[in-house]
Amino acid sequence: MGGVHDNQGNYVEALNYYKETLEIRLKSLPENHPSIARTYNNIGHVHDNLRNYIEALNYYKKTLEIQLKSLPENHPDIAVAYWSIGNLYREEGYQKEALEELGKALQVALKSLPSNHHHVIGIRNSIKLVEQHS
């Protein structure tokens, strides 16, 4: 249900559902389970859309922390986590940090996805945006 509300732009409702999901998963799954990381990412995404950038960054970092412990080092989800953090830094004007995170995202993505994959293209576009504003 959180995803439905998120896609419809009902971010407060989405946040409530995602937090409820997180509570359930934290009680029933190991703390480093990928499903918990996915829920943290969803919460971060909602905060990002609400322009609560500090909260979004905290949740994106929790996502990445779990993924680095629970997924293979070149898993595409790790690239997406770095990409999300990099885009957040870009939105906030932290160009150096953005390039660092986006570089990590591209490095992981190129090891796990074809060069014409939409994630790889999106990461490259994000890097170009940062470079244009540096």
In a domain, 87, yes or no: yes
Tokens encoding 53: 């950038």
Q: What is the pLDDT along the chain (134 residues), one digit of tens a residue?
A: 666 556 666 688 889 899 999 999 999 999 999 999 999 999 999 999 999 999 999 999 999 999 999 999 999 999 999 999 999 999 999 999 999 999 999 999 999 999 999 999 999 999 999 999 87
**32 and 90 belong to one structural domain:** no
Rounded CA separation 60/57 (Å): 5
Structural domain span for residue 134:
72-134
Tokens encoding 128: 């170009």
**43 and 96 belong to one structural domain:** no
Tokens encoding 64: 């990445």
**82 and 131 belong to one structural domain:** yes
**76 and 46 belong to one structural domain:** no
* Count of domains observed in the chain: 2
In a domain, 64, yes or no: no
Q: CB–CB of 34/66 below 8 Å? A: yes
In a domain, 131, yes or no: yes
In a domain, 56, yes or no: no
Rounded CA separation 114/21 (Å): 33
Rounded CA separation 45/23 (Å): 18
